[in-house]
């Protein structure tokens, strides 16, 4: 059977690692809080009630798509679409197409940024492959106005960052929830990771600034993976009861 994503795709290498998936969603957590459509995430109450649980459920859905056979992946995408339609019906309004595009754009951008921070520079062909995979997800969800090429996506991404971000009361509340559920130390670390990852527009609105030791700390973490100490470090980055969920994010990717 054919997989939704090629067996040796760079996308599987990125999303098959708990390191990069956690970085992706640390970056997205910052931008989610600023998005002008963040009120939709508050409608069901699930995100502010427990943003970490929402994080892991989102990651699991994403990995179900990226690591499944074609038909199973399409069913997972259709299930996501149905969930969103249910939310729209409950609120009596439609989620705007630009909000759907923004989320898809985040997944593309933070996939690239996270891998390049933790691993190596990506080639243009690899970046185009990442774009194409998520374009197919968006196409299946019937999202309107998607860019057709990676170059077009780059232009639209800049426009989106300049037009669709706003620091609001939702932003302030969501960061309070991050702090509540992570604890003070982990919350500060999350903000440092976001400062490494986020585009300039996000960093400015959230006043994200890297402190001097974060890059040496990142270098130490990369070295720790060679000695298999990264498992211990990752267990310290999230509350203890999330240990199993973090471990489950690692997929065996063919080489």
In a domain, 107, yes or no: yes
Would 198 be classed as within a structural domain? Answer: yes
Residue 253 located in a structural domain: no
pLDDT tens digits, one per residue of 192-228: 999 999 999 999 999 998 776 677 766 766 666 655 5
66-112 tens-digit pLDDT: 999 999 999 999 999 999 899 889 888 888 999 999 999 999 999 99
Check residue 68 and report its DSSP letter: S
Q: Which domain holds residue 193?
A: 10-248
Residue 188 lies in a domain: yes
Total of domains in the chain: 1
Q: Is the pLDDT of residue 231 over 50?
A: yes
Listed in sequence order, the residues at least 6 apart from 107 whose beta carbon sits closer than 8 Å to its beta carbon are 24, 28, 62, 134
- For residue 255, the model assigns a pLDDT of 45
In a domain, 78, yes or no: yes
Which residue in this structure is represented by tokens 């960061």?
175
Query: In whole angstroms, how far apart are CA 136 and each of 57, 66, 139, 141, 146?
Result: 21, 11, 5, 9, 10
Tell me the per-residue pLDDT of 147-168, one tens digit each, with 9 for 90 and over: 999 999 999 999 999 999 999 9
pTM tops 0.85? yes
For residue 3, being part of any structural domain is answered with no
Residue 141 belongs to a domain: yes
Contacts of 176 (CB under 8 A, 6+ apart): none
């Amino acid at each position: 059977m054919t997989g939704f994503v090629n067996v040796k795709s760079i996308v599987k290498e990125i999303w098959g690692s708990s390191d990069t998936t956690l970085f992706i969603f640390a970056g997205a957590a910052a931008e989610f809080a600023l998005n002008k459509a963040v009120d939709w995430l508050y409608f069901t109450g699930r995100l502010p009630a427990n943003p970490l649980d929402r994080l892991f459920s989102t990651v699991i859905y994403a990995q179900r798509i990226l690591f499944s056979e074609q038909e199973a992946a399409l069913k997972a995408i259709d299930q996501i679409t149905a969930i969103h339609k249910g939310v729209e019906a409950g609120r009596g309004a439609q989620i705007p197409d630009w909000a759907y595009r923004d989320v898809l754009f985040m997944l593309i951008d933070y996939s690239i940024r996270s891998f390049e921070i933790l691993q190596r520079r990506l080639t243009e062909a690899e970046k185009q492959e990442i774009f194409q995979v998520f374009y197919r997800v968006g196409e299946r969800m019937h999202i309107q106005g998607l860019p057709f090429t990676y170059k077009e996506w780059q232009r639209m991404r800049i426009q989106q960052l300049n037009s669709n971000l706003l620091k609001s009361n939702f932003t302030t509340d969501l960061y309070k929830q991050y702090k509540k559920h992570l604890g003070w130390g982990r919350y500060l670390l999350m903000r440092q990771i976001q400062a490494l990852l986020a585009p300039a527009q996000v960093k400015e609105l959230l006043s994200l600034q890297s402190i001097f030791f974060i890059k040496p700390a990142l270098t130490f973490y990369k070295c720790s993976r060679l000695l298999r100490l990264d498992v211990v470090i990752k267990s310290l980055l999230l509350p203890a009861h999330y240990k199993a969920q973090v471990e489950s994010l690692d997929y065996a990717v063919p080489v």
